Amino acid sequence: MRLFGKNRREIERESRQAGRLPPGQSITRKLPVMSFGPLPSIDLSTWDLCVFGEVAESRCWNWEEFSALPTVSVTVDIHCVTHWSRLDSQWEGVRFRDFVALCDLKPSAQYVIAHCDGGYTTNLPLEVMLADEVLLAYRYEGAPLPAEHGAPLRTLVPSRYFWKSAKHLRKLEFSEVDRPGFWEQGGYHNEGDPFKEQRFRRDRF
């Protein structure tokens, strides 16, 4: 298989040397679809994103309000626990840190639990979510986020395996205590750092 005119092995070797390809990963040019359960139907006229938990006041944004917030674009590498990595993927959305600035968090907020349409959940420390490249993303490669990739809105957390990037996001819970999400309860690692190869719970260190 040839990618970008180069042999895939060469690209993978170069990417690994450049510190961009974590152990046990190979490069894919596509973004495979990985979903648990049926695709939720989306109606933007009733959609909202709500925050609750360790915030001064619970609050919701409808699509009109949310999509009026300032956006940023990032070009990042994505790593899935099923051993594929997609380099240089381009996303646009609201920077998570900027969104948090609107939420009036209490100092007790230490963890973020993402709740999705369809019931999927995933958890991360707030500190991880405050990095520059963490987005509430609604555009992918210059077009609206496709349904199968999480429309209308998903979290994008490039520093963790891709199961930590919640598709069809509807609620953000700020919590004082950590609460493992869907795959974390199902045996995946709680942290999921691809460069530490934290795939499964037994890989913990």
Of the candidate spans 107-115, 117-125, 141-149, 156-164, the one that interacts with Mo ion by CB under 5 A turns out to be 156-164
Neighbours of 134 (CB within 10 A): 27
In Å, how far are 32, 44, 117, 156 from 41, measured between CA atoms?
20, 10, 9, 21
- Restricting to residues 75-104, which ones interact with Mo ion according to CB under 5 A? 80
Contact with Mo ion (CB under 5 A) among 34, 55, 60, 147:
34
* 120 binding partner (options Mo ion, ligand MTE, none; Cβ < 5 to 8 Å by kind): ligand MTE
Q: Please tell me whether residue 188 binds Mo ion under the rule CB under 5 A.
A: no
CA distance 175 to 172: 10
* 144 binding partner (options ligand MTE, Mo ion, none; Cβ < 5 to 8 Å by kind): none
Q: Which is nearer to ligand MTE, 37 or 125 (CB)?
A: 37
User: Looking at the DSSP assignment, which residues form a beta bridge with residue 50?
Assistant: 60, 171
Q: Please tell me whether residue 163 binds Mo ion under the rule CB under 5 A.
A: yes
Residue 97, φ and ψ in degrees, nearest 5: -60, -40
Q: Which is nearer to ligand MTE, 105 or 198 (CB)?
A: 198
Q: Shortest gap between Cβ of 185 and Mo ion (angstroms)?
A: 15
Q: Please tell me whether residue 31 binds Mo ion under the rule CB under 5 A.
A: no
State the pairing for strand pair 154-156/6-7.
unpaired
Radius of gyration of the chain (CA): 17
